[in-house]
Structure 1
């Protein structure tokens, strides 16, 4: 049976600070070999509850390219979409919480009970060992629930988002949850939350298109542009929360290329500059000998030569984002974009052999 949640009230926070509570210092944490440490630690280490409040969600890119040295997460097309700001996770067994308090009695680190609030010895002993109720009436725990099957849960803030009001919606004191049970509360972990968290972990290949001619073009002659079908395969990232059985896989699939010539003195093919992915998974068509004057399926014709400074051709890949997870759940997330820029010099010669 889930114990009711307790929101940390301002008066409780003030009492906690007076009795030895304070904000915790940040500690590095790691997710996996593909995603190095990005925030404070969380959960338990060995037999003690660590002081940090970062996530224990495990993230791994399971398919697709690893991306280049300048790769970064895709940017959502929808400016109003935001990843989940916070959620709850299991962090400690009764024994781990007890060991943490015993360490605290000997001068060890304060114990985080919310994403931003630590408790000192007196509050930890009174509430989690002696079973005393909080000032808001929430019942305490006797002897850290030793002998019961389950874990204490705590809110965490998404390390990928700023510390906002939304990120502090999980300011609920460390609470008990029976084993094999997920709390039925707002911001409880769900496959959709994990899918949204994985969104920012998607690393896509650098957007560098193939061109003919390369780097130097000619006024009024088309530049053919394409992407090899094997260069932009779907990228899949898996996120799972240990101890809950909850997981999600977020997949980014390339669905189109948008060309911005870098000048108004140019024409794009197709008009508007949107090149779709073909049936073979490629974008555009590689240049073939003798097709210099033909309109390419994907490309650009420059109408004026560069005057010393090259044109900056922008190529933006649109990635369609979907997810699936525990229990057959699934859905769509906002499309993402990833942009690359290449310099193009354009000369005045009206014909060229290639």
Structure 2
């Protein structure tokens, strides 16, 4: 019999089971406290093409580092212990190797210490509570190297069905909304421009984004066996242009191009508009030599959420940025 206090991903690999990634076995998911049972799916918005995740504009905002969620019924825990011979995670940073550890606590009622700062006592159970209606809950941490993952130090505990435990780091709709924030996949910011990749000194480059690509995106996160869910919505609200050099002007001068009423950004270039000022664009003042300018285009996404209990609100705006090369040429003239 051996008790090991170790990172939870020592058993069954690491990562989260967010409903969007494969490659984990049923046994791994139930053995490891790094796998969440939260199910995430995109409800609305574009799904094809190259996509990426958002970066919060609030440097102090971060997704939840740990939480508790239901894992086993009494019968399921008993079957798990018998099948694995008692090898698995009883908490984020506590793994039990040896069947007797599990049977002592969950079958024969022996108390154990929680893995929290107070080393509080966890009461034991009789025969895995197989005659009770409820679930054993366990802590979850997507990243066990995060120091805040140690905040969820209770070993696996029982909660009656239809109830969420009234403890710190219990799941809430807002927590699910925060979790879903990192699951929002937005389209790559591939801007259209005229000229496309080669601009001319002192002539404006028109920039725009298609209304069909940048649509509102809604992601739903649900935690099975709790009736808790939240929907997190990302809405594009602005495009910011950074020309990649100080020898340039942006339109508007702030570089912030707002979203039009139809959902597009900027205005496509039309023949005859070469001398007009674009509503969204750049004017380069010097030609490039061997190195093109690195034009940065970043979309600001406004993030809101609402949950199963009627709660809701705002989350920090998200940014998605890409870069593309821009060559700038001089106008060639011949004098006779």
**CA offset digits 1:290-313 (Å, max 9, x no partner):** 110111100011111111221111
1:30 deviation in Å?
Answer: 4.3
Q: Say whether residues 1:123 and 2:107 are aligned partners.
A: no
Structure 2's unaligned 5+ residue stretches are: 114-119
Provide the rounded CA distance (Å) in 2 between the counterparts of 1:208 and 1:100: 49
Q: CA deviation at 1:109?
A: 4.7
Q: Distance in 1 between matches of 2:81 and 2:270?
A: 72
Work out whether residues 49 and 100 of structure 1, in 8 Å CA contact, stay in contact via their aligned partners in 2: no
C-alpha distance 308-133 of structure 1, shift in aligned 2 (>3 A): closer
RMSD over aligned CA atoms reads: 2.1
Q: What's the secondary structure of 2:146's corresponding residue?
A: coil
Aligned to 1:25: 11
Higher strand share: 2
- Unpaired segments of 5 or more residues in structure 1? 1-18
**What's the CA shift string for 1:28-67, capped at 9, x where partnerless?**
66433xx2148x77xx76xx99311110000111111125
Structure 2 counterpart of 1:61: 42
Quick check: 242-251 or 109-118, which moved more?
Answer: 109-118
Is 1:98 matched with 2:78?
yes
Instruction: Please identify runs of 4+ aligned residues in structure 1 that moved more than 6 A.
Output: none
Work out whether residues 49 and 111 of structure 1, in 8 Å CA contact, stay in contact via their aligned partners in 2. Answer: no
CA distance in 2: counterparts of 1:167 and 1:116, whole angstroms: 8
Q: State which of 57, 64, 73 in structure 1 corresponds to 2:53.
A: 73
Normalising by structure 1, we get a TM-score of 0.85
Counterpart position of 1:296: 278
**d(CA) in 2 for partners of 1:100 and 1:329?**
36
The reply to whether residue 310 of structure 1 matches residue 292 of structure 2 is yes
CA contact (8 A) 1:21 1:110 kept: no
Q: Are 2:120 and 1:143 aligned?
A: no
* Secondary structure class of the residue paired with 1:220: coil
Q: After superposition, where does 1:106-255 map in structure 2 within 5 Å?
A: 108-119=85-96, 120-134=98-112, 136-157=120-141, 159=142, 161=143, 163-255=145-237
Shift, 1:103, TM fit: 3.3
SS at the partner of 1:345? strand
Q: Name the SS of the counterpart of 1:98 in structure 2.
A: helix
Residues 102-150 of structure 1, C-alpha deviations (whole Å, 9 max, x = no match): 335xxx3513211121223222122111112235543211111121110
Distance 2:132 2:168 in 1: 25
Distance in 2 (alpha carbons) for counterparts of 1:215 and 1:111: 55
C-alpha distance in structure 1 between counterparts of 2:332 and 2:264, whole Å: 30
How far apart, in 1, do the equivalents of 2:286 and 2:164 lie?
63
- Kindly provide the CA deviation profile for residues 290-343 of structure 1, in whole angstroms up to 9, marking residues without a partner as x: 110111100011111111221111111001111111121111111111111111
- CA–CA distance in structure 2, aligned partners of residues 233 and 170 of structure 1: 37
Q: Secondary structure at the match of 1:305?
A: coil
